Amino acid sequence: MTLIFDIGNTNIKTALFDGENLLYTWRISTDLKRTGDEYFSLLRPLFRDAEIDFSSISKVVLSTVVPALIGPFVIVSQHFSGKKPIIIGPEIYSKLPLKVPQTAVHEIGTDLYCDALEAWSRYKAPCIIADFGTALSFTAVSKEGSIAGVAITPGIRTAFNSLFNNTAQIPAIPLDIPPTSLGKNTVVAVQSGIVLGYKGLVEGLVNRMKEDLAKETSCKTEEIKVIATGGLNSMLSPITNTFDYIDKDLTLCGMKRIAETIQSC
C-alpha cells in the first residue's frame, strides 16, 4: 500500500492507496509547533481504528507547501513504514514526465505540480487545473507536458475570513449560493459578493488563461481541459459550466503516480 501525506497551509491530508483504490483519507490541522512524534500520536489511532497493518505500507510519499514540516513527517513516515518518504520537489522533477521551466523550478508549489502531472497524464491534452484551497491556484499545462504558467488568488474561505476578521458588523455566515445577486440583507450581500464574485473570477480567469495558453503553445482553446480540485470547488461547481472534470482527490492521485514512477526508475 502507498501512504500519502499532502501538507497544506491549513490542513494535512493523509491518504492510503491499495493499488489504484483510495481506501482512506483523513484530515488534521496543520500546526508548526507539533513534532513528528506528536503527529504520529494523532494519526496512529486513525490507522488502528481502520485495522491497518503498518507492515503492509510499501512506500510513502510526501508533498508539502510548508517546508518546516518536512523533518517531522520524515519521522512520521519512519514510524509507520520504517522507510524514508519520497519527498516531492525540484530534486525529482527531472525524473518525471511533466516538465517545469528552469526559471520556475523552485517557484511552483509541489501540490500544483502533482495536480498538473495527474491531469496531463490522464487527458494527454492542454489543461488548466483550478485548485480550491487556502489559495485558489490555476495551473496551465501544454499539450506536450510542460507547465506554462500559474495564477494565484486568495481562496474563497481565505477571502471570507479576511472580510469577517477585518469588519466589525459582518457576522460569520454560511457561504451558500445566494438566491440573487441583489442582497437585501448582510447575509445575502456577502454571499453574493463572495460566491458569485468568485464565480466571475474563475470564469474570467480561466477564459483568459485559455486564450494565453492557445497563443503561447499553438493549441486550440476548445482542446483545453479544465479540471477542478480541492474541497471548496463544490461551492462553485453547481453554478458554473467552466469545469470539464471535477476530482477532489486529484493531488493525491498525482502523488501516488509520482511514487510509482520514481520507484520504477
Catalytic residue annotation:
111
**CA atoms within 13 Å, Cβ hemisphere of 14:** 18
The residues facing 136 across adjacent strands are 132, 153
Which of 115, 112, 111, 117 has the alpha carbon at shortest distance from 96?
117
Instruction: Give the Cα separation of 164 and 178 in Å (integer).
Output: 18
Q: What contacts 15, CB < 8 A, 6 or more positions away?
A: 3, 4, 6, 22, 24, 25, 26, 249, 252
The residues facing 28 across adjacent strands are 12
